[in-house]
Amino acid sequence: MIDPSNIGPPRRAERFFKYFCDQEYFEELQGDLEEKFFINMKRLGQRKAKSIYRNEVLKMLRPSVIKKVKTQTQLNNTAMFKNYTLIAFRSIARNKLFSAINVVGLAISMAVGLLAITFLAELNSYDTFHINADRIYRVINTAYEPNQDPGLYATTSPLTGKRLKEEFAGFEKVVTIYRNFNGDAKKGDNTVSIRGLVATEEFFDIFTFPLIYGDPAQALKNPMSLVLTETSALALFGKTDVVGKIIEWDRGLQITVTGVAQNPPRKSHIQFNAVGSFSTLELMNRNNPSFMSWENMWNSHVYALLPKGEGIAPLQASLDKISEEENAKLKNWSIEMGLQSMSSVFPGKKLYNEIGARMDMKTVNSIVILALIVLASACFNYTNLSIARTLKRAKEVGVRKVIGARRAQLLFQFIIEAIIISLLALFFAFFIFQLLKPEFLAMDRNIQRYITLDLALSTYLYFFLFALAIGLIAGFLPSLALSKLRVSNILKGVSGIGANNKFNVRKLLIGIQFTLSMAFVIMVTLTYKQYKYVLGYDLGFTSENVLNINLQGNDVQTLINSFSQLPEISEISAASAVPSTGGMWMDRGKYIEGNDSLSLYNLHISPEYLDNLGHTLLAGTTFSETQGRNQIIINEQLLKRFQMGEPFDALGKTIRIQGKARNVIGVVKDFHYGMLDNVIEPFVFLGDPNEFNMINLKVASTDIVATMQKLEEKWIEIDGIHPFQAIFYDDRIEQAYSKLASSMKILGLLALIAISISMLGLLGMAVYTTETRIKELTIRKVLGANGTNLISLLSKNFILLFLAASAVAIPVTFYAFKEMVVSQMKYVIDIGALELGSGALIVLIIALLTIGSQTRKAIRTNPVNHLRNE
């Protein structure tokens, strides 16, 4: 049997024909085609007839049949545009509450958007001043060690630069830069502390750091030459024309100034106030074979300039060749080299040993994503409230349609309205942005160091485009809904319009807002807990009341003698660094008996250190005053990894470190040398006094400010040049986890914004709902319903939405926290129902208060007021 509904011309062809056929001819042509179709069907059968029909339709595609494109609408565009704007302002003025909610919500979120735009624009302008910026690439290393994740380093061996230059191709020029060139330069009475670089002679060819005096090609050629920056030249000599002059360096070295460069631009990831010649460094290390070794990959950076119009493949091939040859000589570990373009250095992926400015791409992305989320939330408000008010605009739409407005024109009109709102919001957003700016900068030390959020002219243009885009996005759905209304429905009486689309997009949008608000609140709670947890974590030693003072090149003993005169100082020790705050030092160590070698973290300490910092010795003693250099104290991990047995068994064993056999004289309990991102690894205390950089004072004082003053006076007596740098250990630890603190602050701020926006939206919806249902509510009240009944009636839907939202928000946030916030950390809080539920509960309470306030207002008025008009 043939399905009767299937008899007739092919549907799709029919629809297609209707779509393109000119209205004037459609009836005639369609009728003819259909008549012909039935004739053919009788004669040739259904299939053949259908195929003929389709063919006929295709042959209808000719100019005489196809709809004419109407052009007359272009004529009165300006007038219509004026009218749209006028109507938009009128409608904004008429619905003050809704307009205010929209403008305020959009303004707050757009301020966040403006922050993100400025932030991104500034980051993207980094390193663009180099003329050859697009051709400069940096060599980066990936170190593979057994049982460890591969380590990514911004550094490589100086050997790489040397071998590339001498033996390989694939680049135009290559420069090797040594990172740590720190010390004091003296000229007469003037001293400048140099934080500079040491580089080979190509430095000024590859990078665009113009020299004011001196020859860029020759400046870094010879040993003992130095290029100063304007600022450092002025500080040393009082003038900048100083080529050929001699300055004094530490240990009485005499260095010739061969050039004066402009100060490096702020937006450069490479910063310096002097550049020394690499040949000096080579000269100084001529008897040190490990300097030019493949394993010495911790301090040198290699940048290459590619030839014009060539890719990185040839250079990469050269690098692969080098690492293959050199890795063959390595035992236990290997190094691979890669290339990184100048534009992806800052912001870029997270690398160890960064040469200067660092900004993790992840941080940047998360800031942008968070801003987008907040923006979306505000757009939802606009969409929701506008769709809800469709009813009120319906008559206008009807009249416009009757007069002859086409759908596209109405769409345009309502989008213009949204854009006007968003431009208004932009105006306020700009002021909020100015308020937020210093707050944002103050949130994170890192951000403050590299970013000023100064506005460039182009940024204003971005702002404007941004507002247009937001208007478009926010206005799209409402315009669609409004322009879709059918004239016949509107003019028949508006009753059915709002209600019959049980509009679920609206519920969905509110649901998403709920979800986002909850997610933010939960995230903040979790991050705060984690932050507290980390700060209170038992590190395995006592950091309380310990004040760390940076030596800055001064003699340890002099300072110790001077400080120990103060009665408030109960104990003093010295060390090479401050553990547990991020910095880590490492050497290879070989266990002579076990014939095994390992990477060992280390710290040089004075004999008093262990006692001062409250480390627990499991066996043995601390260093002796005189024999420190030949002795080591190890931790339990090392014991385990070298399989030395019980702590006491290890005493007297020998481990070779830095080419020197050292006796184990003590074993300490494991403590956290790295941050809580790392698990505890094998570690040794060494005792070389030449390595000391810090002294640790145990302070017992009731008046810290006075004590600090006394300490500073002592410092100035000894060192008049460098400012006194002292910081309490606990504060230093807090600084080390500042990333957690700043993400907490950023999340907190965004949570606040997200909640305010979604509650504004909810308020709007509540006002709208009570307004439209006021008669129903009043009748219910007259018939005996009490306040609780009515509130639950109105909030029932919201509660359902809320439950759905928490079902999404809680697991998603839990996952996001694990994966993003604490993914690097090895020690994480236990997450329970309390942490997860509290966030959801807060949002629920605020939401109920919002809805309740409206309902209360509605039901407290005299029923007569609402019922007498009909």
Binding residues for other proteins, rule: CB under 8 A, are 8, 25, 27-36, 38-39, 55-56, 59-62, 64-65
Q: Which is nearer to other proteins, 55 or 616 (CB)?
A: 55
Q: Where are the beta strands (DSSP E) in 210-294?
A: 211-213, 225-229, 246-248, 254-261, 274-277
Q: Which is nearer to other proteins, 20 or 648 (CB)?
A: 20
- Distance in Å, CB of 48 to other proteins, minimum: 14
Indicate the pairing of strand 225-229 with strand 136-144: unpaired
Q: Which is nearer to other proteins, 20 or 427 (CB)?
A: 20
List C-alpha distances in Å: 725 to 236, 550, 551, 712.
23, 6, 8, 9
H/E element holding 132? none
**Who's near 263: CB < 8 A, 6+ residues apart?**
229, 230, 231, 273
Q: Which is nearer to other proteins, 63 or 832 (CB)?
A: 63
How far, in Å, CA of 819 to CA of 291, rounded? Answer: 40
The DSSP call for residue 861 is S
Residue 271, burial from CB neighbour count under 10 angstroms (0-12, 13-18, 19+)? middle
Q: Look up residue 281 and give its two tokens.
A: 């460094």
Q: Which is nearer to other proteins, 19 or 626 (CB)?
A: 19
Q: Which is nearer to other proteins, 18 or 286 (CB)?
A: 18
Q: Look up residue 520 and give its two tokens.
A: 């933010």
- Distance in Å, CB of 26 to other proteins, minimum: 9
Q: Look up residue 366 and give its two tokens.
A: 């998360």
- Distance in Å, CB of 25 to other proteins, minimum: 7
How far, in Å, CA of 295 to CA of 282, rounded? Answer: 16
Q: Reduced to 3 DSSP states, what percent helix, strand and coil does the chain have, rounded to the nearest 5? A: 55, 15, 30
Q: Which is nearer to other proteins, 64 or 862 (CB)?
A: 64
3-class secondary structure per residue, 413-429: HHHHHHHHHHHHHHHHH
Q: Which is nearer to other proteins, 65 or 361 (CB)?
A: 65
- Distance in Å, CB of 11 to other proteins, minimum: 13
Q: Which is nearer to other proteins, 9 or 259 (CB)?
A: 9
Q: Is the bond preceding 723 in cis, omega lying within 30 degrees of 0?
A: no
- Distance in Å, CB of 128 to other proteins, minimum: 59
Region of 8 (left: φ > 0; alpha: ψ -120 to 50; beta: rest) is left
- Distance in Å, CB of 44 to other proteins, minimum: 14
Q: Which is nearer to other proteins, 61 or 283 (CB)?
A: 61
Q: Which is nearer to other proteins, 52 or 793 (CB)?
A: 52
How far, in Å, CA of 486 to CA of 826, rounded? Answer: 61
- Distance in Å, CB of 867 to other proteins, minimum: 51
**Nearest alpha carbon to residue 734 among 685, 661, 676, 797:** 676
Q: Which is nearer to other proteins, 29 or 120 (CB)?
A: 29
Q: Which is nearer to other proteins, 59 or 251 (CB)?
A: 59
List C-alpha distances in Å: 402 to 390, 396, 397, 398, 490.
18, 10, 9, 6, 11
The DSSP call for residue 299 is S
Q: Look up residue 210 and give its two tokens.
A: 């113009």
**Nearest alpha carbon to residue 600 among 542, 655, 644:** 655
Contacts 24+ apart (CB under 8 A), 560-565: 560/695, 562/714, 562/717, 562/718, 563/695, 563/697, 563/711, 563/714, 565/714
Is the separation of the CB atoms in 421 and 107 below 8 Å?
Answer: no
- Distance in Å, CB of 49 to other proteins, minimum: 13
Q: Give me the amino acid identity at 306.
A: L
Is the separation of the CB atoms in 360 and 347 below 8 Å?
Answer: yes
Is the separation of the CB atoms in 544 and 730 below 8 Å?
Answer: yes
- Distance in Å, CB of 382 to other proteins, minimum: 45
Is the separation of the CB atoms in 666 and 719 below 8 Å?
Answer: no
- Distance in Å, CB of 2 to other proteins, minimum: 18
- Distance in Å, CB of 488 to other proteins, minimum: 21
How far, in Å, CA of 751 to CA of 522, rounded? Answer: 9
Q: Give me the amino acid identity at 6.
A: N
How far, in Å, CA of 574 to CA of 551, rounded? Answer: 9
Q: Which is nearer to other proteins, 44 or 779 (CB)?
A: 44
- Distance in Å, CB of 376 to other proteins, minimum: 48
Residue 819, burial from CB neighbour count under 10 angstroms (0-12, 13-18, 19+)? exposed
- Distance in Å, CB of 492 to other proteins, minimum: 25
**Nearest alpha carbon to residue 598 among 647, 634, 638:** 638
Which neighbouring-strand residues pair with 142?
A: 152, 336
* CB-side neighbour CA atoms (13 Å) of 560: 17
Q: Which is nearer to other proteins, 31 or 238 (CB)?
A: 31
Q: Which is nearer to other proteins, 35 or 324 (CB)?
A: 35
Is the separation of the CB atoms in 49 and 40 below 8 Å?
Answer: yes
Q: Which is nearer to other proteins, 65 or 793 (CB)?
A: 65
Q: Which is nearer to other proteins, 39 or 369 (CB)?
A: 39
- Distance in Å, CB of 62 to other proteins, minimum: 5
How far, in Å, CA of 713 to CA of 707, rounded? Answer: 10
